[in-house]
Structure 1
Amino acid sequence: MSDAPAYVIVGASGGIGSDLCRRLVSRGPCKIVLAARDPNKLERLADELRAINGDAEIVTRVTDATDSGAVDALFAAASATFGTIHGVTNLCGSILLKPAHLTSDKEFGDTLAVNLLTAFHVLRAAAKALTGGGSVVLMSTVATKIGLANHEAIAAAKGGINGLVISAAATYAARNIRVNAVAPGLVRTPLAERLTSSEATLKASTAMHPLGRIGEPGDVASVLAWLLDPATTWVTGQVLSVDGGLSSVRAK
């Protein structure tokens, strides 16, 4: 498996992260470092992935990506275990829906930490680890592309990620490191369960998306997998909308 692609998936145990990992192991030989905060979820996912592909090399590492030292240690361990790393994604995130005047300093700080700081920590460590080039994919949101009420904190944090993507893509292009992001609409994940479990909220959100439904984890994971694929060699500096048309289409 020395030629198999090696990935570091931060936030691997979430709804989108789990689906992404299943897709990666289903494509064939690969090596994956699964990183997240909950050790039990990580081990369950690792067992599932090994059952899908017994040849896949799966390693778990409990990591709080808001801690830059923990992220640096994660990548040091990944490089020591697998050597060359080919693809990295950060799927850490949160959802805070409040108008600015009702958002506390702590809520805003936590939103920035979980979304923007984790992205910066992962990008910085990945830039050192991807010695042979490769792909870094971050997670943005539709709320950076269309004004959505009560999204001030999360839009500010994810807007920072959009800027991070285009700047880092320019910085690291000469080293053949591609940097992109995916910007989803509402996706049916455990993180969004408070929204998707409400019939009224779900109905309103479904009506907002021109394709007539909210997203499923696979809708986003399939695009992440494509961006991480070593064959996707000519895409960088992009924030790709995966939002059912919400940011750009007005249905009849």
Structure 2
Amino acid sequence: MSSQEQRLAHHVAIVTGASSGIGIAVAEALGLAGAAVIVNYHSQDKPAQELVDRLEKAGGRARAVKADVSKEEDVLRLFDAATDAFGRVDLLVANSGVQKDAGIAEMTLADWNTVIDINLTGQFLCAREAVRRFRAQDKAKRPARSAGSIIAMSSVHEVIPWAGHINYASAKGGIRMLTRSLAQEVAADGIRVNAIAPGAIRTPINKEAWETEAALEKLLTLIPYGRIGEPEDVARAAVWLASDEADYVTGTTLFVDGGMTLYPEFRDNG
């Protein structure tokens, strides 16, 4: 592989929720860019292990690790698994997320708590442990200019309200401020913190929105660029944001959305 392809050589990355959709694409892209990857999963062990096998066959290093990011003890075990396997942690992509959709009058407290616990508290727990590890590691052994990098997986719904999905949108809005506040706090330690906000991406979680021609046509009215996103679109952005090419970037959200946040209804003056 070329040096461009191996721009994450000697990095150790943890990707949460990496057994499907965006997570599996990001984990694979990081591995192919040279990083050793901890492929975290919660319940889908088979696709996680298949990804590990693909990366190892390509000459990379990877391990599949089961953990629930909403549980503190699981997060600690996840990071311990990375240091046990590869000696350090340089990059966290906090991707785990779920949806439990309902109107406000029908939404249960359990559905609210589940989404907030995984989508927001899980981000906090993983980011906190990443910062602790980054600070403790030998500066002389850093593979990058930074002491470590955190990428939080957000959504266009950190800025676009979403009726019927108030728990999800609230969590993503929280990620926006978590990213900015944490970046401000740890920049002096040489730690970079950013987020990626995907728009409509072709993944199993939103299959109803794109699996039929009629559904896809309706969805495309919200996307000025005229196509649905693919997981690889997000993965390429993650590789760049994790690399030294983005070393001066911290505290920002990179929108990968085909223009969904550009208020397409106003293209004809509203």
Compute the TM-score of the two structures, normalised by the length of structure 1: 0.91
Q: What letter is aligned with 1:157?
A: A
In structure 2, how many angstroms separate the alpha carbons of the residues matched to 1:70 and 1:147? 32
**Is residue 2:210 matched to residue 1:196?**
yes
Task: Name stretches of at least 5 consecutive residues in structure 1 with no aligned partner.
Answer: none
Give the aligned partner of residue 105 of structure 1.
109
Corresponding position: 1:171 with 2:175:
no
For 2:24, what is the secondary structure of its paired residue? helix
Q: Post-superposition shift, 1:50?
A: 1.6
For 2:98 and 2:217, locate their aligned partners in 1 and report how far apart those are by CA, in whole Å.
Answer: 22
- Aligned counterpart for 1:68 among listed residues 66, 69, 72: 72
Q: Deviations over 1:33-76 (max 9, x none)?
A: 1111122222111111122x22x121221111111110011112
Q: Is 1:36 aligned to residue 41 of structure 2?
A: yes
Alpha-carbon distance in structure 2 between the residues aligned to 1:160 and 1:184: 16
Aligned to 1:232: 246
**Structure 1: distance between partners of 2:248 and 2:77:** 30
1:4 and 2:10 equivalent?
A: yes
* Percent identical: 32
Q: Deviations over 1:196-250 (max 9, x none)?
A: 2244433221111111122110111111111111442111111121111111253
Q: Does 1:124 align with 2:128?
A: yes
Residue correspondences, number? 248
CA distance in 1, matches of 2:99, 2:212: 15
- SS where residue 232 of structure 2 aligns? helix
Per the alignment, residue 142 of structure 1 pairs with: 156
1:146 Cα deviation from its structure 2 partner: 2.1
Amino acid at match of 2:20: G
Helix, strand or coil at the partner of 2:193: strand
| Aligned amino acid, residue 159 of structure 1 | G
Q: Find the aligned partners of 2:203 and 2:165 in 1 and give their Cα distance.
A: 18
Kept in 1: contact 2:70–2:125 (CA 8 A): yes
Q: 1:95 touches 1:192 (CA, 8 Å); kept in 2?
A: no
Task: Please report how far the alpha carbon of residue 96 of structure 1 lies from its aligned counterpart in structure 2 after TM superposition.
Answer: 3.6
